[in-house]
Amino acid sequence: MALFNIAFFYGSVEEVYLDAIKASLAQDRVSFFSLSELVSISHEHFTHYMVCGELEEIKEVLQYVLIEHKSVGIVPLPSQQALIRTFMLSTKLDKSIAIAKVPAQTPMDVLLCEGEIVLQEVVVGDVPPLDTYDSVLKGKGLLGRIELLLHTLKKVRRLHHRRFTLTDADEKVLKFSAVGLVGLEYHNGTFASKLIASQINAGDGKLSLLILAPTSIVQYMGYLFTAFVSRWTPKQLPRSLGYLRSSKLNVETAQPLEVLIDGKERMETPVELRVEEKALALSVGEGFWEKQSDEVKGKNSTKIDHLPSDEESTSYFAKSIPLFEHASQAQYASLFGSLREEAKLTSTFMTLLIFATIIATFGLFINSASVIIGAMLLAPLMQPIVSLSMGVLRQDSVLELTAAKTILVGVLSVLVTAAVIAWFTPIDKMTDEMAGRLFPTLLDLFVAIASGAAAAYAKSNEKIVGSLAGVAIAVALVPPIAVAGIGVGWGEWHMFYSAFLLFLTNLVGIVFAAALMFIVLGYSPLHIAKKGVVTWLMIALFISVPLYSSFEKMKSHSGIQKQLTNLHITLQKHEVTLTHIELIQHSKKLEIRCEVIADGFLSKREKKLLKKVVEKSVGKPVEVIVTFRYRL
């Protein structure tokens, strides 16, 4: 009997395709067998195996090869694109046969789930879209990617956390809650393998496990955006994911969960995942080994500290994933205790505020921005305002009243202190620093909103709480109250109203935005926070009316400056050009100050004509004050 080197096993293969394979291997020493003959032939006659068929049939041969310790090559079916991508095979039959008939020189690791070979991935629970192949994005533009993103978002409604207990090869027990897990050994073209490409090596004896554990819908949407819309791979895993590397993992869940192996449901938890190191001599295409990462070097790795693991979080996320983050009881207690203390009216608070007011007021008089900034840093007024926002959010009347009382007393003390200083200071000239706080617009409200959100975020994180100083500078609470106090001291009630409006703008913007940020950070459920947030939204809309009017006026003034700057006019005998346009809004009339460059002295008639041209450009009567400069 002739000895053949290669045994070719075929399963569910169309006759035409099988005949093409046989014709391609006619010159080689190959014996063909149906899969049913796998256990009946004399395997000692063969040094290499080849296989073609459905995935389960291929894995049946691979399972046998593990026992016989022989090499094997796969001739994929045209439909087995995932298999082709994973092992760098070819879509062309001749090339795929050429790869498969050459015995493997380098054995690779093989991942087993309860003893069954895993070629692509093993999935426990729900892991969309980690188990999706990134080839679905091929050829899709931005709109196509967004459509795919929205389709995947529909699955979010049914997602919820389960309790997982993992035991690794070192008998270390890890407990956490998650939506699902996906384990893999090779670069298989899924989003999971794309995210951890630098951690995968088919010859290091370790499996990689990605854990999907989003703690809010917003966080999950960020992860989906990274997967579907973004064209770059993040250098770090999204916060919604955890990661493990080990040679063995036992996976247990509180309730049995289905386990999918290579896309098909096979069993339920508990299951054991383990890697047999360099146990499979599989013929692979050129480039397969080049894809393996050299960074990992067989080391175990665990990145799950950020995943929810305490009993409270586990129970909360088991119901559903909230829209925003959920702060733990410990986080809430810590922040709430701090805000309660900062809401109180204390001697320290009053002392710092009075000193800050004195510094700010004199800084306004001497027109010094640096002195005013120093007063901003010293003033503690931001603390009770942030506390008020939490009281509004949680509908805590005690915290609201305590913070409101502190703010009211603080504001009155600033007004009185600034008014007294203005009364006794023998200077009644308005400086630029004072004037700069008399025309609040919608832009100031936007600054306050951004500052309020930043203040709440900084306050909730002890590591960055020092950033509150920067927020205090950005929003400037004491200086506008001090300007209002100066207006009281001078008897300039328009000055008082305008400056105090700026303070109210800052107050409302901070309270509203800080409350929203605390919601996002998970410090209050929406059904509790809704009343307070809606109330302050209405206050913000009310205060926006005069701010919008000021904003429109600022736009108008900007347009006038643009229109008049470098305006060239030919009068009766002279040509003039307007430069350095400055607009000052008085209570009844707009004043325009500018420089006029002329080629000679203007007559009285020409000056009147110049004013008419300016008023015509502006579209209304104005006061015009000019400084003349002459060309020589």
> Do you know the residue count of the chain?
632
**CA-based max dimension of the chain:** 127
For residue 168, the cross-strand partners are 249
Cα within 13 Å of Cα(179), Cβ side? 24
358-to-153, 363, 382, 423, 424 alpha-carbon distances in Å? 55, 8, 18, 13, 13
Distance CA 232, CA 225 (A): 11
Distance CA 564, CA 593 (A): 11
4 pLDDT band (50/70/90 cuts)? low
Ranges of beta strands (E only) in 11-130 are 30-34, 48-52, 71-74, 108-113, 116-118, 122-125
Q: What is the pTM of this model?
A: 0.69
**C-alpha angle 518-523-526 in degrees, rounded to nearest 5:** 85
For position 1, what pLDDT does the model report? 35
For position 273, what pLDDT does the model report? 96
For position 465, what pLDDT does the model report? 57
Q: At residue 54, does pLDDT exceed 90? A: yes
Q: Give kind and range of the element (H or E) at residue 415.
A: helix 397-424
Q: Give kind and range of the element (H or E) at residue 364.
A: helix 347-365
List helix spans (H) across 114-266.
142-153, 191-195, 217-228
Quote the mean pLDDT of the chain: 87
Dump pLDDT digits (tens) for 451-505.
Answer: 888 888 888 776 665 666 666 666 678 999 999 999 999 988 989 999 999 999 9
Are the beta carbons of 275 and 248 closer than 8 angstroms? yes
Dump pLDDT digits (tens) for 505-517.
Answer: 999 999 999 999 8
For position 321, what pLDDT does the model report? 79
List helix spans (H) across 427-521.
432-435, 442-460, 468-475, 478-490, 493-520
Dump pLDDT digits (tens) for 545-579.
Answer: 988 888 888 888 888 888 888 888 888 888 889 99
Are the beta carbons of 535 and 567 closer than 8 angstroms? no
Q: Collapsing DSSP states into helix, strand and coil, what is residue 328? A: coil
16 pLDDT band (50/70/90 cuts)? very high
| 227 vs 519, higher pLDDT | 519
For 221, counting Cβ atoms within 10 Å of its Cβ (0-12 exposed, 13-18 middle, 19+ buried), the class is middle
CA-wise closest residue to 519 among 541, 534, 538, 502: 534
Dump pLDDT digits (tens) for 363-399.
Answer: 999 999 889 988 888 888 888 999 999 998 888 889 9
Residue with tokens 């508990």: 270
183-187, 526-530, 573-577: segment of lowest average pLDDT: 526-530
For position 295, what pLDDT does the model report? 74
For position 238, what pLDDT does the model report? 82
